[in-house]
Amino acid sequence: MKVLILYYSTFGNVHEMAKLVAEGVKQVDGAEPVIRTVPELMPDSVIQGNKGMKAGKEKQKDVPLVTEDDFRQAGAIALGTPTRFGNMAAQLKNQLDQLSGLWMKGELEDKPVGMFVSTGSLHGGQETTILTSLAPLLHLGMIPVGVPYSNQELFVTKGGGSPYGPGHVAGGDNDRPVDPEESALCRALGKRLATIGSKLQSG
């Protein structure tokens, strides 16, 4: 059972989170993480002119772009995005906006889906980003999955993460590492999506 981990990242934080979600997927027998990204929409001149962006993009240069078949073959999907004014990044939304072929055939219906997000600041909108992202995901017929309070890290996280999904506080310079609690919640989402996806496929 494949779990598609589809993300967009400018500075590399959400990419790090995607790898942690993949670790959680691998904890489930028979589940295989598939990490993919989406096309960049910012001009290359903007990226090349910013040290942090350039370094973030360099780390992701080998990540393949997602295809329609990646969506089709996935038994569960994790979507990762930096927060942009309390919403998902346009780059990820642009990819979702190209799903009408699958939408019209109902091919994404009944697939579990979870979101993971990164913000610059502590109260910068992780929860709004996930909640506002639910609208398109519900239109597509997917089943939203978060990380419930059986994950003790939710009680003690000093960075990101909520029952709505894993979160990371990247800091004003986008260089704060994903901390142990944030990492555990990323793994928990991967494991939960893989477990639920496997159950749905076998049921």
Ligand X SMILES: Cc1cc2nc3c(=O)[nH]c(=O)nc-3n(C[C@H](O)[C@H](O)[C@H](O)COP(=O)(O)O)c2cc1C
Binding site for ligand X (CB under 6 A): 9-14, 56, 82-86, 118-121, 124-125, 170, 174
Q: Which is nearer to ligand X, 83 or 151 (CB)?
A: 83
Question: Of 1 and 38, which CB lies nearer to ligand X in the complex structure?
Answer: 38
Tell me which residue has its CB nearest to ligand X. 124
Identify the three-state secondary structure at position 44. helix
User: Which residue in this structure is represented by tokens 């960049």?
Assistant: 40
Instruction: State both tokens at 35.
Output: 């990490």
Q: Can you point out the beta strands (E) in 13-163? A: 32-37, 74-82, 112-119, 143-144
Phi and psi at 3, nearest 5°, equal -110, 115
Asked if 116 and 129 touch (Cβ cutoff 8 Å), the reply is no
CB burial readout 7-33, b (16+ within 10 A) else e: bbbbbbbbbbbbbbbbebbeebeebeb
- Nearer residue to ligand X within complex by CB, 108 or 127: 127
Q: Provide the minimum distance between the beta carbon of 95 and ligand X in the complex, in angstroms, as a whole number.
A: 15
Chain position carrying tokens 């040290």: 51
| 3-class DSSP assignment, residue 143 | strand
Instruction: Answer for the pair 155, 149: CB distance below 8 angstroms, yes or no.
Output: yes
**Shorter beta-carbon distance to ligand X: residue 7 or 71:** 7
User: Cβ closer to ligand X: 17 or 140?
Assistant: 17
Q: How far apart are CA 176 and CA 36, in angstroms?
A: 23
Nearer to ligand X, 59 or 139 (CB): 59
